[in-house]
Homo-oligomer: A and B are copies of this chain.
Amino acid sequence: MHYTRDNMAGLLRSHDINPTHQRIEIAHALFSRQEHLSADQVMAVVNTRHSETSKATVYNTLKLFLEKGLVREVIVDPSKVFFDPNTSPHHHLYEVDSGKLSDIDAEHVVISGLPPLPAGMVTEGIDLIVRVRRTR
């Protein structure tokens, strides 16, 4: 299945998002290259094509995608947030020097022995980040 702009419209609709031009472009940027992009990378990608999209719209749209569960937020670098088009359960591998971020399928990963949560709390998510460095 290819991530054409047309298919993006359907994807957006299925997530209860009104598919506008800008939203389609932004979704396309994220999904066509299955990669983790930061907000300004998204902006750069979107604006290489003809129509310009404003910074405000990029931020608004990414936040909207987040709320609607279309993308996930990955916080590994204090200086910028990455957006992850893969919403299936998975973890992350972060190469500290290069800043490269990749997925670790959660299927075979087991996390056990976590203490019970404080009363009245529910888990919103578990982020597991493996930070690696090149041997020198």
Q: Does A35 contact B (CB under 8 A)?
A: no
- Give the residues from 114 to 136 in chain A that come closer than 8 angstroms, CB to CB, to chain B: 114-115, 117-118, 120-135
Which stretch in A5-13, A14-22, A25-33, A69-77 binds the other chain? Answer: A69-77
* CB pair A121 B132 closer than 8 Å: yes
Q: Let me know if B109 and A114 touch, CB within 8 A.
A: yes
| A73 contact set on B, CB distance < 8 A | 78
Chain B CB within 8 A of A95 CB:
yes
Which residues of B have CB within 8 Å of A77? 75
Give 1 or 0 for each of A87-129: 1 = CB within 8 Å of chain B CB: 0000001011000000011001111111101101111111111
> Would B129 and A127 count as touching, CB distance under 8 A?
yes
| Closest-CB distance, A76 to chain B (whole angstroms) | 7
| 24 CB-based A-B contacts, threshold 8 Å | A75-B75, A78-B81, A93-B117, A95-B121, A105-B115, A108-B115, A109-B111, A109-B113, A110-B112, A112-B112, A114-B130, A120-B135, A121-B132, A122-B132, A122-B135, A123-B130, A126-B129, A126-B130, A126-B131, A127-B127, A127-B128, A127-B129, A127-B131, A128-B128
